[in-house]
Structure 1
Amino acid sequence: MILDKLANADRYNCLHPLFGKAFDYLKNTDLATIEAGVHEIQEKQLFAIISEAAGVTKDAYKLEVHRKYIDIQYIISGTDHMGWKDLALCSEPNDPYNEIREAAFFPDKTDNWFDVPAGSFTIFYPDDAHAAMVTGENVVRKVVLKIAVEV
């Protein structure tokens, strides 16, 4: 798991062949006005999901993981309160992996919480169980870039 500001994104381009293209998208797209929904960048290997919504409470969150995609979650406006737990420390999922939604959900809770303000991003790999949008009634506009693990 990585947490940093978009101004430092070039430091991470060496971690995946598509990270440079993903960060270029964040830097060169008008994220304040782009329509919510899914935006293809490079077929199924790299795409963006734009959302603007209130989140859930700490009583209602679920830790999730993905197998085929790495998440870069960039906050456009607001502050996203996120949680993290090492997948190796999680129990069996109570909502097993589903290939169509590309996620599994866990009953586990975490003590690792952090705020991600506008202009910052997180990177979650397949071994990072994470909870995002734990913001209660606070609205957050964000983009989740989905990057295929295998290209």
Structure 2
Amino acid sequence: MVLDKLTNAARYTRMHPLFAQAFQFLQEADLMTLPLGQKAIVGKDLFAIISEGSGIPEKDAKLEVHRKYIDIQYVMEGTDHMGWRDLALCSESNDPYLEERDAAFFPDWPAFWFDVPAGSFTIFYPDDAHAAMITEKNVRKVVLKIAVQPEGPVEA
């Protein structure tokens, strides 16, 4: 897991072949005017999900993990309260993995909680169980989904 400010994105572009394009999108797109919903960037290998609204109370948090995609979650407005736990320390899933949604959910409690203010992002890999949108305040954010194993050619 990574937590940092978008101004430091260049530190992370070599961590995955699509991260440079992902961070370029975050830095160059007019994110506040993009409509809510899904936007393709590099087909199914890299796409954005723009959302806005309030989340859920901490007591209702569920840890989730993905297998096919890495998440870069960037907060545009508000503060997203998130939780994290190492997947290796989670008990058995109480809502097993389904390929269609690329997610499994766990009954465990996060090992730690943290705030992600506007202008900051997190990176969650498949071994990062995470809970996001644990706030009852309004948050506008974009979740970039980056294929762990891209299917198409990746531009340098």
Q: Give the TM-score normalised by structure 1.
A: 0.98
**Aligned match of 2:118:** 118
**Aligned-pair CA distance for 1:40:** 0.2
**Aligned-pair CA distance for 1:127:** 0.0
**Aligned-pair CA distance for 1:33:** 1.1
Matched, 1:49 2:49: yes
**Aligned match of 1:100:** 100
**Aligned match of 1:149:** 148
Instruction: Provide the C-alpha distance between the structure 2 equivalents of 1:18 and 1:84, rounded to a whole number of angstroms.
Output: 24
Aligned length: 150
Deviations along 1:13-72, whole A, 9 cap, x unmatched? Answer: 010000000000000111111100000000100000000010000111100000000000
**Structure 2 residue matching 1:32: 3-state secondary structure:** helix
**Structure 2 residue matching 1:59: 3-state secondary structure:** helix
**Aligned match of 1:87:** 87
Deviations along 1:106-148, whole A, 9 cap, x unmatched? Answer: 0001240000000000000000000000002x01000000000
Aligned residue type for 1:37: G
Instruction: Provide the C-alpha distance between the structure 1 equivalents of 2:73 and 2:58, rounded to a whole number of angstroms.
Output: 19
**Aligned match of 1:38:** 38
**Aligned-pair CA distance for 1:97:** 0.1
Aligned residue type for 2:11: R
- List structure 1 segments (4+ residues) > 3 angstroms apart after TM superposition: none
The answer to which of 105-114 and 2-11 deviates more is: 105-114
Instruction: Provide the C-alpha distance between the structure 2 equivalents of 1:98 and 1:140, rounded to a whole number of angstroms.
Output: 27
Q: Give the TM-score normalised by structure 2.
A: 0.95
Unaligned runs of 5+ in 1: none
Unaligned runs of 5+ in 2: 151-156
Instruction: Provide the C-alpha distance between the structure 2 equivalents of 1:110 and 1:23, rounded to a whole number of angstroms.
Output: 27
User: Once superposed, what is the RMSD of the aligned Cα atoms?
Assistant: 0.5
Q: Percent identity?
A: 67
